[in-house]
Structure 1
Amino acid sequence: MLFLMKPLFPTYIVPVSSPLPHFRSPFHLMDFPPLKPISKSSLAQNHDLPVSTTSLSPISPQPILPSSPSLPASPKSIPNTVSSSSPSLSLPSLSSSTALPSLPPSEFSPSSTDSPHPSVELPASHATSSMSSCSLPLSPVSSLPPSLQPPRRIHPMITRSQVGTRKPRVLPSLLATGADIREPKTFKQACQFSEWRSAMVDEFLALLKNNTWSLVPRPSTVNVVGSKWVYRIKQKADGSIERFKAHLVAQGFTQQQSIDYDDTFSPVVKPVNIRTVLALAVMYSWPIHQLDVKNAFLHGRLSKVVYMSQPPGFIDPQYPDYVCRLNRALYGLKQAPRAWFQRFASFLFTRGFSQARSDSSMFLYHSNGAMAILLLYVDDIVLTASTTMLLHAIISLLKSEFLMTDLGQLNYFLGISVSFNSDGLFLSQSKYTHELLERSGMLDCKPVVTPMAPKAKLFSTDGPAYSDPAFYRSIVGALQYLTFTRPDIAFAVGQVCQHMHAPTHNHFTAVKRILRYLKGTLNYGLQLFRNSSLSLHMFTDADWAGCVDTRRSISGFCLFLGNSLISWSSKKQNTVARSSAEAEYCAIANAVAEVLWVRQLLSELHVFLHSPPMVYCDNISAIYMSLNPVQHQRTKHIEIDIHFVRERVASGIICIQYVPSSAQRADVLTKALSSALFRSQRSNLSVLCSPAQIAGG
């Protein structure tokens, strides 16, 4: 004997050869008492006939009859009113055979193995009444002969299905529970909470609204990429939750080059340009706004045909075997960032914007003496303009073409907190630093006053191998991003970065010292000053053979726009220097290249310097080589760099001047210093404690 468990969902047939035990259905049906034993002889001639048992479901199903001329044998024979080339996209309310009905949290646990993709309910306005069209046309029970009608319920229990009532399903709220909120890793985990379900529904409806895909029969000779839900908690600058975000992403790692995609490169604005524009905006008292583009990648247009599997939990029940032919780019595709950038840039070009030659992600607008600067980092935008009217006009223009949110005055961008004060603008990553300390288990560590012990050296084979290289790389990679506002740790981070391929315990000890230093300077950041002059001055320095493994030298420079630090570097040189003068001169060449690039950027922004950029060096021999056309046996192998610097000096584009070592601000970028000297150098780099922290302390 067979029983149909529930209509509209995947049909599960349960063979019955004995009285059914008291059990709880995996579909979250209510508990039912044992049924009266059924005589085997009553259906002896109808072993293949399923009999409906209404006590197994709160909705009484209709019995499925054997194949007959009057009934279609399969759904394929049902007339289909929807074109197979472009099926309706308004059927997202329930999944097909890969999805279970929505479960309440008490039933929904990782131990459940009923289905990998429970379904997510959509608002009624987006559901469809045509779902039943994919089911077989069933005859009513009364039309059956008496001998084939299902047995009537004989027990006295009254169920909710008999009286037509349903118990409302209430999902727990993450915000109401007060528990530690974590980002789920799987679709199944996310379905337990209402916030993530709502986020998935919002994302899915946005995809449908943008006509992201069309459901088509699965081609037999194409590559179909998978799909997955990714969850993120977007936080405010103070650490509070702003909103829950769910992104449907394509599994781009299954794409095939030249078949699914071609070029993938997409630029983002450079950190030095962000700091330069912010420094100028503060000096000119320009308004600065930030904008967030919603579903940015959906605006991109694909040059290749890409097929993707239907989203987990939102599989069309009428077409479970169909796939999504993407009409637009989607997160996860290798070419999606490039498609979005090209779409955004082409729109700006048609509206009179120009692209900066020094940075492809910087867009400039000039009109009647007014000017606007737009910086794009994937889907985050920083916009500043010389007038408030022009700024709001550009925001309205962008909103007319793209779905975006004006977040108001810049306060939190790319994990960087931006606060305005009487001196100008303060950039800090305190929240990011706190999260890094927590993730590394160093939140309660004892602080130290320097990020690296004075005169410390790291060897490649220094001690036994570290047990968790992946964790080492993760922490060091996070420290690299922290140098966006913390030049005081640039040298120490550069040293531990050289051993990512084979870290040792001593290397990780050096990493922990950096974290201990950050613990004591949690509220420090970079100050950009309002009262500043339009001048560029660069400090450059180098050690000699500082790397004990390769004997290469470490170059360092720091570039100031007025009093504001906008660019810095601590980097190992590409070649081995044969003298300290040679190492210093190579450092000058790298610094001059940076100065010329920033100078070109300023000219594009219509910022004209009062005097040529100044480059300060504490090595007289290196300065002499840059000023005089002398060559001898010890310098002929660096002739190209000599001519590069010498030509700029001769033409008056830059000036090189001597500075004593005690006033060399780049010294902290080339070596580990003592605590007293380090504090002085840190202050010279405008790395200060938060003004709000000082006022509150």
Structure 2
Amino acid sequence: MITRSQSGIAKPIDRLSLNTFSIYPILKNLSHALQDPHRRNAIYDEYNVLVKNGTCLLLPRPVGVNMVRSMWLFKHKFHTNGNLSRYKARLVGNGSSQQLDVDFDKTFSPVVKLATIRMVLCLAMSRKWPLHQLDVKSAFLNGDLSKTVYMHQPPGFVDSRYPHHVCLLQRSLYGLKQAPRGCPSTRMSTSGYCVFLGDNLLSWSAKHQHTLSRSSAEAKYCGVVNVFAETTWLCILLRELHSPLLIATRVYCDNVRVLHVPSRYQYADIFTKGLPLALFEDF
């Protein structure tokens, strides 16, 4: 066997530099973070955004109300090439101290489905729509709360004139169980109208949720059922985007033969749909 060294072939060794001394470590202590100019600027930037949004209203503590605590979290934000972008600080509420039907009722996560983004981008590419991105800083914090939430004053920002006052939250805060529905929508402008990737599409799962009952014997068909559910979602999404499918979507499977079941045999529909009178009486 002939090696590279025997043949006089030399290849330089690229050694990775893992030196991170230029990046300050992530801190957990607020007093230490305030001594760091990078962290201190990030903290005041976050606090100024909360003040500008009117997130908190200071008032004397009412008697017998549930109080939520808050804390500061710190993190690093990096560019795609791995270089440090900026230091971030975030004030979060302790949602575990909230009480159901007292300071929150329903939880809602305003997250766009990845399939929604892909579908809209596919439409934009095929129809040559111009795309515009709207990036709202701390967009989540612009939502209103439907329940009254009382919180202790943020650590490090206790008003010296009213040290015993508490915050009445008028806007959402990270960490709370009650997430808002009113945050700004991400939008895509088209030549004739705008497609909003926000509440209208996000609430589809609550308005048009299809219940699929699965017994243990049907567990092996879950993959096909998931395909049907996702396909149904995409079909409704396309219809809402004024781009309905004109033909049925064909689903292939290697070990299941899927047959059409007529409406007169869909007995579960009586619990989930508004049926014609004859079909309803027959069921």
CA contact (8 A) 2:30 2:72 kept: yes
| Distance of 1:282 and 1:261 partners within structure 2 | 41
Tell me if 1:264 matches 2:104: no
Shift of residue 228 of structure 1? 0.9
1:630-687 CA distance string (max 9 Å, x none): xxxxxxxxx869x9xxxxxxxxxxxxxxxxxxxxxxxxxxxxxxxxxxxxxxxxxxxx
| Distance of 2:42 and 2:56 partners within structure 1 | 20
CA contact (8 A) 2:139 2:184 kept: no
| Distance of 2:239 and 2:261 partners within structure 1 | 29
1:252 is aligned, of 79, 82, 95, to 95
Counterpart residue number, 2:231: 595
Distance 1:224 1:593, change over 3 A: closer
1:371 is aligned, of 175, 193, 205, to 193
Q: Describe how 1:121-160 pairs up with structure 2 within 5 A.
A: none
| Distance of 1:214 and 1:599 partners within structure 2 | 45
1:320 is aligned, of 163, 170, 191, to 163
Counterpart residue number, 2:34: 191
| Distance of 2:261 and 2:99 partners within structure 1 | 56
Aligned residues: 233
TM-score, with normalisation over the residues of structure 2?
0.68
Counterpart residue number, 1:575: 216
| Distance of 1:282 and 1:238 partners within structure 2 | 27
> Which amino acid letter does the alignment assign opposite residue 218 of structure 1?
R
> Which amino acid letter does the alignment assign opposite residue 375 of structure 1?
L
Distance 1:220 1:289, change over 3 A: same
Secondary structure of the corresponding residue to residue 64 of structure 2: coil
| Distance of 1:209 and 1:363 partners within structure 2 | 24
1:16-52 CA distance string (max 9 Å, x none): xxxxxxxxxxxxxxxxxxxxxxxxxxxxxxxxxxxxx
| Distance of 2:84 and 2:153 partners within structure 1 | 30
> Which amino acid letter does the alignment assign opposite residue 61 of structure 2?
R
CA contact (8 A) 2:132 2:189 kept: no
| Distance of 1:310 and 1:259 partners within structure 2 | 20
Shift of residue 199 of structure 1? 0.9
CA contact (8 A) 2:142 2:182 kept: no
> Which amino acid letter does the alignment assign opposite residue 241 of structure 2?
L
Shift of residue 332 of structure 1? 2.2
Shift of residue 195 of structure 1? 0.9
1:541-565 CA distance string (max 9 Å, x none): xxxxxxxxxxxxxxxxxxxxxxxxx
Secondary structure of the corresponding residue to residue 221 of structure 1: coil
Counterpart residue number, 1:205: 48
Shift of residue 194 of structure 1? 0.6
Counterpart residue number, 1:152: none
Secondary structure of the corresponding residue to residue 196 of structure 1: helix
Distance 1:574 1:185, change over 3 A: farther
Shift of residue 608 of structure 1? 4.3
| Distance of 2:63 and 2:235 partners within structure 1 | 56
Distance 1:329 1:612, change over 3 A: closer
Distance 1:593 1:216, change over 3 A: closer
CA contact (8 A) 2:131 2:189 kept: no
| Distance of 1:298 and 1:307 partners within structure 2 | 16
Shift of residue 583 of structure 1? 5.0
Tell me if 1:626 matches 2:259: yes
| Distance of 1:189 and 1:302 partners within structure 2 | 32
Distance 1:304 1:262, change over 3 A: same
CA contact (8 A) 2:93 2:174 kept: yes
Counterpart residue number, 2:277: none
> Which amino acid letter does the alignment assign opposite residue 242 of structure 2?
H
Secondary structure of the corresponding residue to residue 252 of structure 2: strand
Distance 1:594 1:202, change over 3 A: closer
| Distance of 1:318 and 1:292 partners within structure 2 | 37
Shift of residue 609 of structure 1? 4.0
Secondary structure of the corresponding residue to residue 373 of structure 1: strand
Alignment identity in percent?
A: 43
| Distance of 1:261 and 1:590 partners within structure 2 | 32
Counterpart residue number, 2:74: 231
> Which amino acid letter does the alignment assign opposite residue 138 of structure 2?
N
CA contact (8 A) 2:78 2:84 kept: yes
> Which amino acid letter does the alignment assign opposite residue 195 of structure 2?
I
CA contact (8 A) 2:56 2:171 kept: yes
Q: Describe how 1:139-538 pairs up with structure 2 within 5 A.
A: 178-335=21-178, 337=179, 339=180, 341-342=181-182, 344=184, 370-376=192-198
Unaligned runs of 5+ in 1: 1-176, 346-361, 378-572, 630-638, 644-697
Unaligned runs of 5+ in 2: 1-19, 200-213, 270-283
1:324-378 CA distance string (max 9 Å, x none): 222332222221x2x2x23547xxxxxxxxxxxxxxxx87888xx713323249x
